[in-house]
Amino acid sequence: MTPTDIPPFVDILADFELLEDWEDRYRYVIELGRKLEPLPDKLRTAETKVQGCVSQVWLSTTIHPNGIPRLTFVGDSDAHIVRGLIAILFAIYSGKTANEILDIDAVSILGELHLNEHLTPQRSNGLMAMVTRIRSDAETARTGAG
């Protein structure tokens, strides 16, 4: 639904497991961020800005209401590593229904990458702020469809 080159999460996880060195994993996350489509300037607004992130992060959600609403996302950050984290979140969430998004245990899934052990507490908090925004948008979509 969102034309990107971001691989599915299962592929990201497999690639992560192949990379033993955390420096290589960081480079991989940054490379994932480079695959994000550019965020149009008109979407860099106070409404799309994610609060709770140290870096500037914008996240815009599109709800596709055909029957069961599906959500797709575009986003950006001024930090390369955060752009990569956004790409990982899009691999997990984008194109899924509101109910599917709300059923995802982000802490568990992201835990498979062991990111919390290697991100600063501020980055981890920002990552969870992005998850909270995505879940909130999914709840809004589900409520609107109900």
- CATH code at position 29: 3.90.1010.10
2 lies in some domain: no
Place of tokens 């979407």: 43
Dist CA 142 CA 20 (whole Å): 40
pLDDT of residue 58 exceeding 90, the answer is: yes
The mean pLDDT value for 119-125 works out to 90
53 is catalytic: yes
What distance in Å separates the CA atoms of residue 45 and residue 41, rounded to the nearest whole number? 8
Look up residue 112 and give its two tokens. 């498979």
> Rounded to an integer, what distance in angstroms lies between the CA atom of residue 29 and that of residue 114?
13
Q: State the average pLDDT over residues 6-35.
A: 95
Angle at CA 57, nearest 5°, toward 55 and 62? 170
Structure tokens at 129: 């702020």
* Residue 53, domain extent: 9-145
pTM (whole model) above 0.75: yes
What is the C-alpha separation between 142 and 35, in angstroms, rounded? Answer: 29
What is the mean predicted confidence (pLDDT) over 2-10? 77
Catalytic: which of 6, 53, 82, 127? 53
Instruction: Report how far residue 4's alpha carbon sits from residue 76's, in angstroms, rounded to the nearest whole number.
Output: 13
Q: Provide the residue type at 76 as one letter.
A: D
Residue 144 reports pLDDT greater than 70:
yes
Position 53 confidence tier, pLDDT thresholds 50, 70, 90: confident
Residue 3 lies in a domain: no
More confident residue, 4 or 39: 39
pLDDT of residue 38: 87
- Considering the domain boundaries, does residue 114 fall inside one? yes
In a domain, 97, yes or no: yes
Residue 1 has pLDDT above 60, yes or no: no
Contact 59, 75 (CB under 8 A): yes
Counting the structural domains of the chain, the total is 1
